Amino acid sequence: MSVDYIEPRIEVIEDESTPSVTLVTSDVIGVVGTFEKGPLNEKKTITSLDSLVKTFGNDKAGLTGCKSILPAMAQGAKNFVVIRIGGSTVKAASITLKDSSDKDSIIVTAANEGTWGNDILVAVANGTANNTFKLIVIYGGKTETFDNLTLSNIGTVSSDYVIISLVSGAAAIPKNISAVPLTSGNDGASTTDADYIGSIVNGKRTGLKLMETVNANIILCAQQSSDIIRNALVTHCMNAIVRDGLRISVLNPTKGLDVDKVCELTANLDTARGILTYPWNEFTDIPGQFIAPDGFYAGVLATGGAHESPSNKVVNGIVSQEIELSGGDVKTLTKARISPILPDSGFRIMNGVTLSSDSSSNQTNIRREFDEIEMEIYQSTRWVKSKNITKKIMQAVAEQIDAALQIRKDDEKIYDFKATVCDDTINTPETMAARMLKTKIKVRPVFAADYVDHHIERYLGD
């Protein structure tokens, strides 16, 4: 029987076979930062340098976002969800055009906030039709022309660069003028910790509060290094639920700290949801200054599998480092649960530890691998929600989870697993009466060979 698809709906197809496995990855980097242009406090997906520049512009002194994203891209990272923030001074450039009586007529405003709008030029000429005007917009070597405009149809203007609005009480179209720039645009570069942490006001989310609604796996507050921001990032990751993407944060040390001082930062940080890396580095694309290391480290995490330790991975794009570190510093930093980047045949991450003091869970790859497994099982078993709890359903769930784990074992992402238990030994009459379906899953992860001991003996004779 054919089915007519007339309106959006969910189509449910019953099948007696084991449901398929939904594979997931954990390579999405969520970035909160300041940029020269782009919408404020909106989630934007960035997948290339071109899309970054088109949406948020280029790196600029005093702004943070590109300084973390560009080093991540240098490692091969391709998936970002970016939230642009700005301080209290952030403002869109604009100009008010006057009519022939020198009274305000229309306002031309940059499409979004930032000093980029100060480079937009607008001109007014006679329209082709009588009693109309022509608006010319010039930006970045490109020109937009909107003809036959009146005060009643300016809402039809669709520009990539500006928004046109009518001045209250305007009585006549603007007079002709040569090209003049918009003014008073401001990047909002002077931010506070509160701007990054964000808020929820009348349902409108900003900063990290907006990132709570993003499915991302590695979270950065670009170039930020205050105690308040580090704690906010860790809290953000600890509160994330599997539906929205389990995640880990990469934290920056304060600029200029020596090894002893940076080790003091971890005294009050004990979590598997945070990585503190070190030191600040000079980047090939931003020469002459040291930038925080969060983007370098996040890029390495995103381009390796979740099951792979970042330890010994090459970090691309570093020219020099603010602090010269020796091999002996690695031991001190590792004891303090810090994951540094050091010169070693280029520059490499020297261990893969989180800020957790629990040796059973402080390996970054184990934390991220279990996050990925949990997200994968969640996605694959969503079909069972609100199904009647029967032996057949319990068996199907167990088989589906084992199928997912077998794929991971075959790909050497885990070492081994025990058969999943989902039967009436753990799903008692009481748990089922509470509408709860339980499983018991045991996974043996893969461990990185961070310590390699070679035993060499002298051999004499035959």
The 10s digit of each residue's pLDDT in 41-56 is 999 999 999 999 999 9
In CATH terms, the fold of domain 94-181 is Immunoglobulin-like (2.60.40)
Q: Name the token pair of 337.
A: 């649960």
Segment 80-120, tens digit of pLDDT? 999 999 999 999 999 999 999 999 999 999 999 999 999 99
In the chain, where the domains are located:
29-86+192-349, 94-181, 387-462
- CA dist 23 and 372 (Å) reads 9
pLDDT for res 17? 53
Percentage helix, strand, coil for the chain under 3-state DSSP, each rounded to 5: 25, 25, 45
Of the candidates 215, 203, 261, 228, the one whose C-alpha atom is nearest the C-alpha of residue 372 is: 215
pLDDT tens column, 341-374: 999 899 999 999 999 999 877 999 999 999 999 9
**pLDDT recorded at residue 3:** 47
- pLDDT band at 444, cuts 50/70/90? very high
- Label residue 326 by pLDDT band (50, 70, 90): confident
- Compute the average pLDDT of residues 294-309: 96
Closest by Cα among 62, 79, 78, 59 to 284: 59
174 DSSP β-pair partners: 99
Q: CA–CA separation, 73 vs 316, rounded Å?
A: 10
Question: How does pLDDT run across 179-213, given as a tens digit for each residue?
Answer: 999 999 999 999 999 999 999 999 999 999 999 99
Query: Would you say residue 156 has pLDDT above 70?
Result: yes
How many Å apart are CA 49 and CA 300, to the nearest integer?
Answer: 17
**Structural element, H or E, at residue 113:** none
pLDDT value at residue 109? 98
Q: Which amino acid is at 150?
A: T
Cα separation of 219 and 386, whole Å? Answer: 33
pLDDT for the residue 5: 45
Given the candidates 3.40.920.10, 3.40.50.11780, 1.10.10.10, 3.10.28.10, the CATH classification of the domain at 29-86+192-349 is 3.40.50.11780
Virtual torsion, Cα 27, 28, 33, 37, nearest 10 deg: 120
Q: What is the pLDDT of residue 325?
A: 86
Cα 186–chain centre separation: 24
For the stretch 403-442, pLDDT in tens is 999 999 999 999 999 999 999 999 999 999 999 999 999 9
| Per-residue confidence band for 26, with pLDDT thresholds at 50, 70 and 90 | confident
Gap between the Cα atoms of 255 and 265, Å rounded: 12
